[in-house]
Amino acid sequence: MKKSKITGIGFHVPKQLVTNQDLTSIMDTSDEWIRTRSGIEQRRWVQGDEAASDLAIPASIKAMEMAGVNPEDIDVVVVGTISGDYFFPGVSAQLQAELGLRNIAAFDIKAACSAFVYSLSIADQFIQTGQYTTALVVGAEAQTKFINKSTEGRDIAVLFGDGAGAAVLQVSNDESGILSTHLHCQGKDLKNLWMEAPGSSGDNQINTVTIEQAKRFEPYMNGREVFKNAVVRFPEVIHEALEKNNLSMDDISLIIPHQANLRIIQSVAKRMGVEQDKFYANIQRYGNTTAASIPIALCEAVEEEKVKEGDTIILAAFGAGYTWASAAIRW
């Protein structure tokens, strides 16, 4: 079996910077309230006609440039997103066209905050089996287009930001590469973190709706239950990656978790008995960017030289579904 490695990464965020102080002018909140509950200080929001594909395209170009690949080299595109430009088709189809790629396989993965690791795993399998040699994997979100930016929706609105991150995977000819990936789902709790409509269930179709019905077209989160599950699943899936590869925490240079809430990251570190600086966090600057969270964090960790050649790192995610996932990577 062949092994895949990440040869290029890149990210892109909107220009519009929204601080906690900015939010106080549109909803009943405060900088202290937001920081205490999430650790977030600022985030980026798309504006006007800006959409997920507008973030995914420049992120992909940066990753391709770093990898030194041309459009004709890409064999498959896998995009993780729950906030695509259209209900269908996916952002992947737009990337295929806008990047000038061949008529290759391109599809989206709707696994919310775990979608980038899910997408990475799928691309890795394609390369392992020899079906493809070069894959473009993207996490892109314009989630704030769907949130209620008022006091009524503040519990959600203060958390989310927009952005995109991308990675190019190619066949590895050395010791570096993806060592293993681990994917999970527990669907019985899906209503604790979901967006009910639009959908084909019941009366969730788009038609004339009342104000009360329209609430189903916004994300809902049972924060307490999500927190309780996240602090259990993160350590589980990190340990799963360690055990699969006969590694200990001492072998790991950095853990890059999904940036959902700084309190979750701190609680996971404490539960695992690991120093906080072993977990990378940039949620302070970007908020929760859903599927884009991990690739953006990976890009910044590499830029800051917290991930260097030869390091072993773990990516870990938890999100709607519930889904959770990890990837062990030798950089």
Give the DSSP H or E segment for 324.
Answer: strand 323-330
Q: Any bridge partners for residue 327, and if so which?
A: 181, 315
Q: Catalytic pick from 113, 192, 282, 299?
A: 113
3-state secondary structure of 73: helix
Q: Any bridge partners for residue 326, and if so which?
A: 182, 316
**In which order are the strands placed within the sheet that holds 254-257?**
177-185, 323-330, 312-319, 254-257
258 is catalytic: yes
Whether the CB-CB separation of 196 and 204 falls below 8 Å is answered with: yes
DSSP-derived pairing of the beta strands 312-319 and 323-330: antiparallel
Q: How far is residue 255's CA from residue 59's CA, in Å, rounded to a whole number?
A: 22
Tokens for 21?
A: 């102080």
Q: Catalytic pick from 12, 20, 192, 258?
A: 258
- What's the chain's Rg over C-alpha atoms? 19
Q: Is 298 left (phi over 0), alpha (psi -120 to 50) or beta?
A: alpha
Q: Catalytic pick from 192, 229, 288, 299?
A: 288
Instruction: Count each helix (H run) and each strand (E run) in the chain, helices first.
Output: 11, 13
Three-state DSSP string of 104-125: CEEEEECCHHHHHHHHHHHHHH
Q: How far is residue 34's CA from residue 60's CA, in Å, rounded to a whole number?
A: 32
DSSP-derived pairing of the beta strands 312-319 and 254-257: parallel
Among all residues, which ones are annotated catalytic? 113, 258, 288
